[in-house]
């Protein structure tokens, strides 16, 4: 059961207030910067990157990793709370890792960001039509249907996912998974390289 819901009895779900709703997240968004690493596609690289953050006490808001168009390399997108540590200190530590090819930093205002959400929400015969209508408004797809619940998928900007998540809490969120933020620089704002490509 996810945060934000509580079982009231067999088959019943009650929505619970949760800290960190869209209003609160909006205030935090500008202090969360995306640090993008291009790394060699070798075993153990992700463990070393994550371990560095853990040792230094840097606060990671989210982390996503996948191969690039070049199979030799992967791109790691790390959303960092810039209030938890000076950004240059983060970069200096990352730059010491031998498998890191390049590092960029994207301010939220200079990036096109996206995230994927999967959510299962309570939807009985009474509320199902309303939940499906909300999904259509946000551009979400229904990917699984049960007698008392629906599972939906939404890929969009993080703030859109925040809003979608908040309106679904009224119906009762049973399970929720978000991938974490990925980003590319706006074409009008090229990425700022924080370390030279090796």
Q: How far apart are CA 43 and CA 98, in angstroms?
A: 13
Q: How far apart are CA 74 and CA 41, in angstroms?
A: 6
Strand, helix or coil for residue 119: strand
Q: What is the pLDDT of residues 162-175, one digit of tens each?
A: 999 999 999 999 99
Residues 81 and 140 reside in one and the same domain: no
In a domain, 197, yes or no: no
Helix (H) or strand (E) holding 167: helix 158-168
**pTM, full prediction:** 0.72
Residues 102 and 121 reside in one and the same domain: no
Residues 80 and 123 reside in one and the same domain: no
User: Mean pLDDT over residues 16-26, rounded?
Assistant: 45
Question: pLDDT category, 88, cuts 50, 70, 90?
Answer: confident
Q: How many CA atoms within 13 Å lie on the side-chain side of 46? A: 13
Question: pLDDT category, 193, cuts 50, 70, 90?
Answer: low
- Compute the C-alpha angle 112/176/108, nearest 5°: 20
Strand, helix or coil for residue 96: coil
Residues 37 and 100 reside in one and the same domain: yes
Residues 98 and 163 reside in one and the same domain: no
Q: What is the pLDDT of residues 59-75, one digit of tens each?
A: 788 899 999 999 999 99
Residues 92 and 52 reside in one and the same domain: yes
* pLDDT for the residue numbered 192: 60
Strand, helix or coil for residue 191: coil
Q: Which of 106, 132, 166 is the last residue of a domain?
A: 106
Domain CATH for 179: 3.30.70.1150
In a domain, 196, yes or no: no
How many domains does the chain contain in total?
Answer: 2
- Residue 4: left if φ>0, alpha if ψ -120 to 50, beta else—which one? left
Q: How far apart are CA 147 and CA 123, in angstroms?
A: 8
Sole residue written with tokens 């992967």: 74
Q: What percent of the chain has pLDDT over 70?
A: 78
Instruction: Residue 9: give the domain boundaries.
Output: 5-26+112-183
Q: What is the pLDDT of residues 97-148, one digit of tens each?
A: 889 999 988 877 888 899 999 999 999 999 999 999 999 999 999 999 999 9
* pLDDT for the residue numbered 55: 80
Q: What is the DSSP letter of 97?
A: S
Give the helix ranges, DSSP H, for 17-127: 22-29, 45-56, 87-94
Q: Which of 106, 129, 149 is the last residue of a domain?
A: 106
* pLDDT for the residue numbered 8: 38
Residues 10 and 52 reside in one and the same domain: no
Tokens read off for 106: 């994207």
In a domain, 60, yes or no: yes
In a domain, 193, yes or no: no
Q: Is the pLDDT of residue 149 over 80?
A: yes
In a domain, 194, yes or no: no
In a domain, 62, yes or no: yes
Question: pLDDT category, 9, cuts 50, 70, 90?
Answer: very low
Q: Which of 79, 106, 133 is the last residue of a domain?
A: 106
Question: pLDDT category, 191, cuts 50, 70, 90?
Answer: low
Q: Is the pLDDT of residue 29 over 60?
A: no
Q: Is the pLDDT of residue 15 over 80?
A: no
In a domain, 188, yes or no: no
Residues 88 and 40 reside in one and the same domain: yes
Residues 43 and 138 reside in one and the same domain: no
* pLDDT for the residue numbered 117: 97
Contact status, residue 110 vs residue 185, Cβ threshold 8 Å = yes
Q: Is the pLDDT of residue 4 over 50?
A: no
Residues 14 and 39 reside in one and the same domain: no
Cα of 72 vs its chain's centroid, Å:
25
């Amino acid at each position: 059961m996810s945060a934000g819901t509580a079982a009231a009895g067999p088959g019943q779900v009650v929505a619970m207030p949760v800290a960190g709703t869209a209003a609160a997240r909006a205030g935090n968004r500008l202090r969360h910067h995306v640090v993008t690493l291009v790394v060699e596609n070798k075993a153990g690289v992700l463990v070393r990157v994550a371990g560095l953050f853990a040792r230094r006490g840097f606060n990671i808001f989210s982390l996503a990793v996948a191969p690039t168009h070049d199979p030799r390399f992967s791109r790691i997108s790390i959303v960092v709370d810039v209030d938890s540590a000076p950004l240059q200190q983060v970069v200096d530590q990352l730059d010491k890792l031998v498998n890191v090819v390049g590092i960029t930093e994207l301010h939220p205002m200079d990036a096109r960001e996206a995230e994927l959400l999967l959510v299962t929400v309570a939807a009985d015969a009474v509320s199902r039509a309303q939940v499906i209508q909300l999904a259509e408004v946000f551009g979400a797809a229904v990917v699984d249907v049960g007698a008392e619940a629906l599972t939906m998928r939404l890929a969009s900007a993080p703030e859109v996912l925040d809003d979608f998540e908040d309106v679904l809490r009224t119906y009762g969120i049973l399970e929720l998974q978000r991938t974490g933020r990925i980003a590319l620089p706006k074409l009008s704002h090229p990425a700022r390289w924080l370390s030279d490509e090796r």
